[in-house]
Structure 1
Amino acid sequence: MTDGDPLARTAALVLAAGGSRRLGRPKQLLPFVGATLLDATLAMVRRCGFPDVVVALGGAADEVRATVDLSGARVVVNEVYGEGCSSSIAAALPALPTGIDGFVLLLGDQPMVDPDHVHGLVAAARGASIAVTRYRDGVGHPFWLGRPLFETLATLHGDKGVWRLVDRAGRRLVEHHADVPVPRDVDTWEDYQLLLAEHGEAR
């Protein structure tokens, strides 16, 4: 990162490869604010101003490509998405630009992250290998993952691999504090209905 541009030498990685087993339909394509859930997340990511954005797809990848506006992003398809989020990170690592200091990890089903908190995380993570967002009710995404962790990230397994890195970081863990609840993500139909209700779109 440089003093001139806090996002220089930084990329965004958006995880949108899940098979939506609990939901029963591709959550990336759920209607939200006039488009889809993934469209809303990517619109938020674009507002952040990252010079590079990588999106990891997996479940329903062809349908997502045909429906969602993926312009300006490098798309990686994780063929083994059923093995968990860690496999999507490993699949996306080669698509990240060379020379970056690290990347911000965001969830494709979490559209209401505040870009100001993303900027705050990147600023707090200066020189750190791992940083998280500390909300009122706990730790949540986005995360910052620095270059020193890239080799480790390539070998993680399962859905909670990055969380295990957070747990093991100890005093090396940097936290950006956001005085709001953890932004809702969508794993179940109830989650989706609650997200719609929070934004006046209950159906």
Structure 2
Amino acid sequence: MSKEHISAIVLAAGFSSRMGTLKALLPWQGIPLIQYQMEQLKNAGIVEIIMVLGHKADELAQVISPYDVKSVFNEHYRDGKSSSIKKGVSCMTDNPSGIFILAVDQPVPSFILQKMVEHFRIDQPSIVIPSYQGKRGHPILFQGNLKEELLTVNEQSKGLRKVIQTYHDEISYLDVRDPAILLNLNEPNDYFHKN
């Protein structure tokens, strides 16, 4: 299994209502957050990157247009994050060995992604979740054979939680010793205290 077989789905369709401004365009290490995410994935060797857009899709599409990523529009983005996960998974071009699912407001540096891929390649668990000081973080890396399960997620069953609960005994927690995996930029305080 090589990095070329890992696909990544970046969820960037939400309203950013709690932040009060479009989170994907917030500056992060000198560039828009959505651009930072793409560059980290590219640096980690992820070839297929699917950007799921919804709210202000045209604006975000312009930012990501110079990159070799697939942008798809989730016409049901108002229904919640699960609809974006299903849209992204359904747009993958092949059957990858692994599927990263990332939210645009959860920036993670490339070396963590690389560690996760390497761990995944060697141990081949159903799910890899990074952890820091015993706390679970993100992103989550799923075996490609869980594609069908990912296509059935919905808001009623708490999205990815159902898949994680179903395969609870097949999860590998990877200690990355970096608090970046806990970042979740939902509100202005989250952003201004971390940036």
* Unaligned segments of structure 1, at least 5 residues: 197-203
The answer to which structure has the higher helix fraction is 2
Shift of 1:180: 1.9
Q: Does 1:93 align with 2:89?
A: yes
Q: State the partner residue of 1:176.
A: 174
Q: State the partner residue of 1:157.
A: 154
- Say which is worse superposed, 31-40 or 185-194, in terms of deviation: 31-40
Which whole-Å deviations, capped at 9, do the CAs of 1:74-129 have from their partners, x for residues lacking one?
Answer: 01111111222211110011221313112112221222x13222122122224332
Which whole-Å deviations, capped at 9, do the CAs of 1:129-156 have from their partners, x for residues lacking one?
Answer: 2221122251111111122211111111
* 3-state SS, counterpart of residue 139 of structure 2: strand
Sequence identity percentage: 28
* 3-state SS, counterpart of residue 125 of structure 1: helix
Q: Which amino acid aligns with 2:154?
A: H
Shift of 1:35: 2.5
Q: State the partner residue of 1:31.
A: 27
Distance 1:70 1:85, change over 3 A: farther
Shift of 1:12: 1.4
Find the aligned partners of 2:29 and 2:113 in 1 and give their Cα distance. 21
TM-score, normalised to structure 1, is 0.85
Shift of 1:157: 0.8
Q: Does 1:9 align with 2:5?
A: yes
TM-score, normalised to structure 2, is 0.88
Q: Does 1:138 align with 2:138?
A: no
Cα root mean square deviation, aligned: 1.9
Find the aligned partners of 2:20 and 2:46 in 1 and give their Cα distance. 32
Q: Which amino acid aligns with 1:168?
A: T
Find the aligned partners of 2:126 and 2:87 in 1 and give their Cα distance. 20
- Say which is worse superposed, 52-61 or 128-137, in terms of deviation: 128-137
For the 8 Å contact 1:124–1:175, the answer to whether it is kept is no
Distance 1:19 1:145, change over 3 A: same
Distance 1:183 1:43, change over 3 A: farther
Q: Does 1:193 align with 2:192?
A: yes
Find the aligned partners of 1:136 and 1:30 in 2 and give their Cα distance. 28
Number of equivalenced pairs: 191
